[in-house]
């Protein structure tokens, strides 16, 4: 009975499950791609405007795509009772939920990182900003999954929790959006972005350490 | 291997209030190794609520639950109990084997290997079948197989006989008798008359 074995078993199980119901991966990714490709069409032939708002477009789309995928984090486990078995395991619930959140990010956050450079070029973002864009996504999207998990854990027991979930989670997403969007904007202009990156790193570390605790507590509350 | 050492599971002065309705109050029991506690009562009398309180999902509105003399949170309770509830906790997109391996990863290995447990519940040969292809009775037997592969002393079962045929019921009864003979203990609710020979069955009627 080792904790690391349980941790990796949970990640592995969730990845296998995601592979078996592919729409769960495809949905947020497709949303991300669609929104970003629609912007140039909506704005028309104004390449400078597009270039100026590209960081905002990419980050807002990433944020909404992450929100869209949140409900799948605990929904099926809640409906079929797997959450009960996870809570009854002698291992600490916080570690097991962290495994679930990591698996969720691998399935919904990582694909965004892979398509983002292509879409950035599409919006006319300068090449030297691509690295920073990827870095902010790498640091920021896990935070979206971690913070979102708290909201989902609180609302998974409600029949129509979608609306409350957005209200709960969106305000907490704002700092990530501000710092990440700003970093990419500055990088496009050739300015240093160390401060923003450092803040994003600290937000990520804090979320990584602090988020699993309320998630575990909220899940325990939700199953009643 | 399970040792014959004795464990005790007790509740004292338990009460549960849901939506201003008192389901039960001042409920007490003491369960020792080898004993079965059968909860009876009509629908809505609080059987499932009591089981969920015993699992620690819900705090009792009054009273305390102790495992070998300690509060369940401060004891080895969670390493020594297994719960099969209304929801079977089985992923329908995973195969039988993958589901059992997951349970095994979350708990310590028990008396039987996965193969042995599957043959015990008459599911051998179904290892690589997706659970969504199983019948309701087979799913129930699979969730009960989880009890055999993980290390546990206390089984908490909510209506374990639902959707099982007569053979299935007899099978589970045999497993329960064997578990008790090995020093295990069981808390269950059931609408069926259960036939447990040579087992000390305590009954609490909630209605």
| B106/A96 CB distance under 8 A | yes
Domain ranges of chain A: 3-222
Asked if residues B23 and A56 have their Cβ atoms less than 8 Å apart, the reply is: no
Three-state SS letters, chain A: CCHHHHHHHHHHHHHHHHHHCCHHHHHHHHHHHHHHHHHHHHHCCCHHHHHHHHHHHHHHHHHHHHHHHHHHHCHHHHHHCHHHHHHHCCCCHHHHHHHHHHHHHHHHCHHHHHHHHHHHHHCCCCHHHHHHHHHHHHHHHHHHHHHHHHHHHHHCCCCCCHHHHHHHHHHHHHHHHHHHHHHHHHHHCCCCCHHHHHHHHHHHHHHHHHCHHHHHHHHHHHCC
Asked if residues B90 and A77 have their Cβ atoms less than 8 Å apart, the reply is: no
Q: Region A152-177: what's the mean pLDDT?
A: 90
Confidence of residue B5 (pLDDT cuts 50, 70, 90): low
Q: Does A66 touch chain B (CB under 8 A)?
A: no
Alpha carbons B23 and A22: distance in angstroms, whole number = 44
Asked if residues A146 and A208 have their Cβ atoms less than 8 Å apart, the reply is: yes
Which pLDDT does position B2 carry in this prediction?
45
Distance in Å, alpha carbon of B198 to nearest chain A alpha carbon = 30
Confidence of residue B3 (pLDDT cuts 50, 70, 90): very low
Q: Crossing angle for the helix pair A23-43 and A110-122, nearest 10 degrees?
A: 20
B173-204 pLDDT, tens per residue? Answer: 999 999 998 888 999 998 877 878 788 888 88
| ipTM rounded to 2 decimals | 0.87
Distance in Å, alpha carbon of A87 to nearest chain B alpha carbon = 8
C-alpha dihedral sign at A99, A103, A108, A110 = positive
| Beta-carbon-side half-sphere exposure of residue B74 (alpha carbons within 13 Å) | 7
The CATH fold assigned to B33-42+76-205 is: Rossmann fold (3.40.50)
Statement: residue A2 has pLDDT above 80: yes
Distance in Å, alpha carbon of A82 to nearest chain B alpha carbon = 4
Three-state SS letters, chain B: CCCCCCCEEEEEEEEEEECCEEEEEEEEEEEECCEEEEEECCCCCCHHHHHHHHHCCCCCCEEEEEECCEEHHHCCHHHCEEEECCCCCCCCCCEHHHHHHHHHHHCCECCCCHHHHHHHCCCCCCCCCEHHHCCHHHHHHHHHHHHHHECCCEEEEECCCCCCCHHHHHHHHHHHHHHHHCCCEEEEECCCCCCCCCCEEEEEECC
| B58/A76 CB distance under 8 A | no
Q: Which residue of B has its CA nearest to A10?
A: B102
| A86/B87 CB distance under 8 A | no
Which of B57, B83, B108 is opposite residue A1, by nearest beta carbon?
Answer: B108
Asked if residues A80 and A220 have their Cβ atoms less than 8 Å apart, the reply is: no
Question: CA-CA-CA-CA torsion for B166, B170, B171, B176, nearest 10 degrees?
Answer: 140
C-alpha dihedral sign at B155, B159, B163, B166 = positive
Distance in Å, alpha carbon of A216 to nearest chain B alpha carbon = 12
A104-145 pLDDT, tens per residue? Answer: 999 999 999 999 999 999 888 888 899 999 999 999 999 999
Domain ranges of chain B: 33-42+76-205
Alpha carbons A171 and A179: distance in angstroms, whole number = 14
| A81/B79 CB distance under 8 A | no
Which of A1, A85, A87 is opposite residue B103, by nearest beta carbon?
Answer: A85
User: Which of chain B's residues have a Cβ under 8 Å away from the Cβ of A86?
Assistant: 106
Which pLDDT does position A175 carry in this prediction?
94
Distance in Å, alpha carbon of A24 to nearest chain B alpha carbon = 13
A57-89 pLDDT, tens per residue? Answer: 999 999 999 998 998 899 889 999 899 999 999
A179-223 pLDDT, tens per residue? Answer: 999 999 999 888 999 999 999 999 999 999 999 999 999 999 888
Which of B58, B81, B105 is opposite residue A224, by nearest beta carbon?
Answer: B58
B103-160 pLDDT, tens per residue? Answer: 998 888 888 889 899 998 888 888 899 999 999 889 999 998 999 998 889 999 998 8
Alpha carbons B15 and B13: distance in angstroms, whole number = 7
Nearest by Cα to A196 from A209, A181, A210: A181
Q: In sequence order, which residues have a C-beta less than 8 Å from that of residue A41 and are 6 or more positions away?
A: none
User: Which of chain B's residues have a Cβ under 8 Å away from the Cβ of A224?
Assistant: 52, 57-58
| B87/A21 CB distance under 8 A | no
Alpha carbons B73 and B70: distance in angstroms, whole number = 8
Which of A81, A85, A224 is opposite residue B106, by nearest beta carbon?
Answer: A85
């Amino acid at each position: 009975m080792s904790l690391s074995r349980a941790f990796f078993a949970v990640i592995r199980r969730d990845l296998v499950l995601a592979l078996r119901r592919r729409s769960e991966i495809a949905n947020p990714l497709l949303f991300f791609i669609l929104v970003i490709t629609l912007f140039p069409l909506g704005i028309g032939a104004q390449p400078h405007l597009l270039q100026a708002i590209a960081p905002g477009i990419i980050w807002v789309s990433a944020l909404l795509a992450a929100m869209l995928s949140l409900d799948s984090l605990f929904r099926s486990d809640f409906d079929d009772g797997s959450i009960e078995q996870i809570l009854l395991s002698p291992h600490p619930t916080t570690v097991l939920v962290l495994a679930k959140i990591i698996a969720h990010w691998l399935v919904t956050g990582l694909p965004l990182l892979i398509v983002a450079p292509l879409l950035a070029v599409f919006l006319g973002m300068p090449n030297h900003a691509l690295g920073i864009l990827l870095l902010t996504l790498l640091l920021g999207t896990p935070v979206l999954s971690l913070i979102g998990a708290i909201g989902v854990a609180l609302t998974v027991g409600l029949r129509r929790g979608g609306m409350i979930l957005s209200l709960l989670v969106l305000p907490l997403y704002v700092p990530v959006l501000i710092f990440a969007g700003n970093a990419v904007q500055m990088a496009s202009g050739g300015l240093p972005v160390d401060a923003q990156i450092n803040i994003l790193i600290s937000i990520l570390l804090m979320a990584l350490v602090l988020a699993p605790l309320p998630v575990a507590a909220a899940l325990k509350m939700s199953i009643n | 291997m399970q040792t014959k050492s004795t464990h005790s599971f007790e509740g004292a002065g338990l009460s549960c209030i849901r939506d201003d309705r008192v389901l039960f109050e001042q409920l007490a029991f003491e369960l020792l190794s080898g004993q079965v506690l059968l909860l009876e009562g009509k629908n809505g009398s609080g059987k499932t609520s009591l089981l969920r309180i015993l699992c620690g999902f819900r705090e009792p509105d009054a009273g305390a639950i102790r495992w070998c003399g300690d509060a369940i949170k401060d004891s080895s309770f969670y390493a020594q109990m297994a719960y099969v509830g209304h929801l079977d906790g089985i992923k329908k997109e995973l195969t039988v084997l993958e589901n059992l391996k997951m349970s095994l990863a979350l708990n310590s290995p028990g008396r039987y290997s996965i193969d042995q447990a599957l043959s015990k519940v008459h599911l051998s040969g179904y290892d690589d079948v997706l659970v969504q292809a199983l019948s309701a009775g087979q799913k129930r037997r699979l969730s009960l197989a989880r009890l055999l592969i993980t290390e546990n002393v206390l089984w908490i079962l909510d209506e374990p006989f639902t959707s099982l045929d007569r053979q299935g019921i007899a099978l589970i009864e045999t497993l329960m008798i064997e578990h008790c003979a090995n020093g295990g203990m069981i808390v269950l609710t059931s609408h069926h008359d259960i036939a447990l020979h040579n087992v000390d069955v305590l009954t609490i009627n909630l209605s």
